[in-house]
A and B are shown apart, each in its own frame.
Chain A
Amino acid sequence: MSKIVHVVEDIMSANDDVAAQNRAKLNGAGVLGINIMASPGSGKTSVILRTIAALKDELRLSVVEGDTAPVSIDADKVIAAGMTAVQINTGGNCHLDANMLRQALPELLLGQVDLLIVENVGNLICPAGFKLGTHFNVVIASVPEGDDKPYKYPNIYRGIDALILNKIDLLPYIDFDIDYFKRGVQLLNPNLIFFTLSCKTGEGLDAWVQWLKARVRAFQAHEDSRLHEWAHHHA
């Protein structure tokens, strides 16, 4: 005798549940988390180092570095820049998942952090499917990758909050049609915030840094008002 059992369960639900726990942990500690996704070599670590340099006197930053191989090259650079970094070695896995971040969180002194930046594994496909629980998802594209990437890897551009186009110093040397690129991105994610910058020359970095700083301040103000409300209710 056979029968149908209704399941109706999202296949990513286990990951999404852990992501929600991570989010709650970050919220509880007043830490804004951002997840940086990109293909290998697009400039994730470069953007993080530039961001640290710009914000280190104003915000307390911490970085989680996801790498498939047990090399701490990126984490070492962050530490050399004077920040705390935790390395997650995914053991060959091509993306971070919520559980990997959950395991890394206790290694960070979240009480002493304002902004947590997660550098995901260099990959334009997998990370899109695995939420981590961070507040913002950011993709970094770069000029040498070509202007057709939104059309070929649509999923990574959807469900993100900000997009950085890095290495604009190379525009004179590469056929990269920014309008074509932008049109694809807009089709996928019309409300996205778009930054163009160069980690080499520093051009355009300020807009990104100011945006990020404003997000942290808004988040903290919101948290403060919530705490305030809480204290009020429990007085």
Chain B
Amino acid sequence: MHELAITQNILRIANEHAARADAQRVTDLYLVIGQLSSIVDDSVQFYWDIISKGTLCEGATLHFERIPARLRCQQCGTEYGLEQELTTCPSCQSARAQVIQGEEFRLESIEVEGEGNRSKD
């Protein structure tokens, strides 16, 4: 997927929330990314170091939590993981399955420093 556009989204969301919290600086970002969201961590990190310069997020560390994919067989209801390749249901060999986990793609939280004394809403 297009890592630059995505990294820009992450930066914008983090800066918005940091400003709203009156933060002076963002130190850490916690991202939750499903196995099926084709995002290359290294590439996000590469763009991040460049585009976060001069913002509240400069120098912040990106943490990626990877969520493995899980499928549910539509035939027999068995739930199973995706090893590397697409696989049929281990119980009944049906190829009809539904993705129940692994599509996550969100910024879960940020860690900030130097919050002002304005009360949080």
Contacts and interface: CB of A to CB of B under 8 A. Distances in A.
5 contacts: A11-B9, A12-B9, A14-B12, A15-B9, A155-B37
A188 interface: yes
A183 interface: yes
A150 B74 CA distance: 19
Interface string B6-40: 10011011100110010100010001000011100
A190 B98 contact: yes
Contacts of A150: 86
A235 interface: no
Q: Which 7 A-B pairs have the closest CB atoms?
A: A190-B96, A187-B86, A186-B95, A129-B1, A126-B2, A7-B107, A2-B113
Contacts of B114: 1
B107 A154 contact: no
Interface string B80-121: 000001111000000111110000011111111111000000
B5 interface: yes
A155 B86 CA distance: 12
A187 B96 CA distance: 5
A2 B27 contact: yes
A94 B2 contact: yes
A95 B10 CA distance: 19
A43 B14 CA distance: 40
A128 interface: yes
Contact of B97 (A12, A13, A187): A187
A196 B12 CA distance: 43
B1 to A, nearest CB: 5
B103 to A, nearest CB: 8
Contacts of B37: 129, 155
A104 B91 CA distance: 49
B105 A188 contact: no
Nearest to B23: A5
B87 to A, nearest CB: 8
Contacts of B95: 183, 186-187, 190
B97 A5 contact: no
B1 A128 contact: yes
Contacts of A186: 95-96
B13 A11 contact: yes
A143 to B, nearest CB: 20
A152 to B, nearest CB: 10
Given A93-B5, A184-B86, 8 more contacts: A3-B21, A3-B111, A7-B14, A11-B9, A97-B5, A129-B38, A158-B99, A187-B86
Contacts of A125: 1, 38
Contact of A8 (B1, B2, B12, B108): B108
